[in-house]
Amino acid sequence: MKNKLSPTQVEKVMRDNDFIVSMTDVKGRITYGNRIFIEFSGYSWQELAGVQHNIIRH
C-alpha cells in the first residue's frame, strides 16, 4: 500500500490551451495523468500512480 499524500496547498494559473487529463480505475486510483495534470498536481508520476484521485483538489 502506498503512503498517503497530502495536498500541496499550492495554486497554479492555467493557460487558455492547458488541458488536464487523468484517468482512474473503478476504485478511484489514478492510472493515467497527462503532463499538465502531473505538473499542476505538484507531485511526480511515481507519487501519483495508484493513489486515490481525491488527493487532487481544485
Name the amino acid, one letter, at 39. E
Q: Up-side HSE of residue 3: CA atoms within 13 Å toward CB?
A: 5
Please state, in angstroms and rounded to a whole number, the distance separating the CA atoms of residues 22 and 53.
9
Question: pTM above the 0.85 mark?
Answer: no
Interval 9-55: pLDDT, tens: 777 777 888 899 999 999 999 999 999 999 988 899 999 999 999 88
Q: Which residues touch 43 (CB under 8 Å, ≥6 apart)?
A: 5, 8, 55
Please state, in angstroms and rounded to a whole number, the distance separating the CA atoms of residues 41 and 58.
10
Answer with the residue of higher pLDDT: 18 or 2: 18
